[in-house]
A = this chain, B = another copy of it.
Amino acid sequence: MKGFFRVQTPKQLLEKLNRFGPLPSEVVSLEDALHRILAEDILSPINLPEFPRSTVDGFALKAKDTYGASEKNPALLQVVGEIPMGQLSSIHLKDGQAVKIATGGMIPEGADGVEMVEYTEWVDAQTIHVFKPISPLENVIQVGEDIKEGEIVLKKGRPIRPQESGLLAGIGWTKVRVFLKPKVGIISSGDEIVPVEQKPKPGEVRDINRYTISSMVREAGGIPIFLGIARDCFHEIKEKIESGLRQSDMVVITGGSSVGTLDLVGEVFQSFHGTEILGHGISIRPGKPTLLAEIERKPLLGLPGHPVSAMVIFHLFGKALLNILSGVSEETGPKRIGKAKAGRNIPSVAGREDYVRVKLEERDGTLWAYPVFGKSGAIAHLAYADALLKIGIDEEGLAEGEEAEVIFI
């Protein structure tokens, strides 16, 4: 298969992901909806507030009774009661009258504004002085001013964060239609890979990718399904991929440490009926040999076996695919991107995007990024990185103090 495909830029490959679309939806209770993705626009069934409310603690009154009031010449009003919280008041305010009200209290009939308590003073048990005029509707939130009945309050494709769950609660939305969580079949391949609980013999190494990829799938809102370790054997790889296509919405296979392994995976991809190879080789470091295919309308991602490369590529392409399958609209997705300054000179080669594993340190509110180095195959440095620092395809490295984009990992 080698040579058939040109190395593509990360951007070119990302654009090809648009052929995939969101999964079907299901209805869950609001309590279980955290981090799920809305599968429908939410139209408010009610006005909010449903009654005119005070936005301050003070006295509800007729604004015109305060006109001309000042420190020297206060208005005198008769206090005819107090608005109880959570209840409809029977009070109907007449000229020259006021009623005590707390923040959130319902404005009674006849009142058109609220004077803040700070600008009043009790004269006796039934009378107050008001020192400052207010305009009609001052310190009042009117019916529907927050949300209007029939208004779209949240759009399809929006992730439900704590704040969205609060808004849904506010309009009485107890059940929510959300996209299904994508199931992701995960295969580790390579003759040298053994399960973690097994003591490796000389030449063997433990299966790290199973855990890093599963964890990243969970973080991206998917359900990981581990399908086992395949030897570097066409039929064993094919059988596991078939099993993945049956059980899941997307398959990720990591390919041993040897460069040749992903070529074998590519041959297996090709052997399915109607396979479309979307990419084989990206101008990126680490992760150049990455494979992407569409089989039975599902995405299959072949990642380099090196745990660091596999993580970087999954962050960039695996998560993008999961976002598409789970119906996330780009505009409302969570921001995992920030800026950091290079803590030292970081060299790079133009012509490929470079993702450097960095440790972040915060000083005086600025994030500083320090590269975490490790030889190819080393894993200790894997865990010490907090972010991936991006060096653009046309850049030749960063100078100390220069700012660049980081993806928090």
Contact = CB atoms under 8 A, between A and B. Distances in A.
A50 to B, nearest CB: 6
B232 A334 contact: no
Contact of A307 (B154, B166, B174, B377): B166
A167 interface: yes
B163 A104 contact: no
Contacts of A86: 190-194, 203-204
A147 interface: yes
B211 A145 contact: no
A376 interface: yes
Interface in A74-112: 84-89, 102-106
Copies in the complex: 2
A141 B87 contact: no
A55 interface: yes
Contacts of A258: 57, 85, 102-105
Interface stretch (A4-12, A20-28, A275-283, A382-390): A382-390
A88 B203 CA distance: 6
B380 A167 contact: yes
B259 A164 contact: no
Interface string A129-149: 000000000000100011100
B172 A50 contact: no
A31 interface: yes
B51 A104 contact: no
A123 interface: no
A206 B174 CA distance: 11
A258 B216 CA distance: 43
A161 B215 contact: yes
B103 A211 contact: no
Contacts of A165: 211-212, 215
Nearest to A151: B380
Contacts of A214: 31
A311 interface: yes
Interface in A302-330: 305-307, 311
A309 to B, nearest CB: 11
B166 A311 contact: yes
A49 to B, nearest CB: 7
A170 interface: yes
Contacts of A34: 215, 218-219
A72 interface: no
A207 interface: yes
A335 B311 contact: no
A337 interface: yes
A374 to B, nearest CB: 7
A380 B192 contact: no
B382 A212 contact: no
9 contacts: A31-B211, A50-B202, A85-B203, A88-B203, A141-B376, A147-B379, A168-B211, A169-B212, A335-B367
A-B pairs with the 6 shortest C-beta distances?
A: A104-B257, A86-B192, A162-B215, A338-B338, A102-B258, A167-B383
Given A48-B378, A141-B378, 14 more contacts: A49-B205, A85-B258, A86-B192, A88-B203, A104-B257, A162-B213, A163-B409, A166-B209, A166-B215, A169-B196, A170-B208, A170-B307, A170-B379, A337-B362
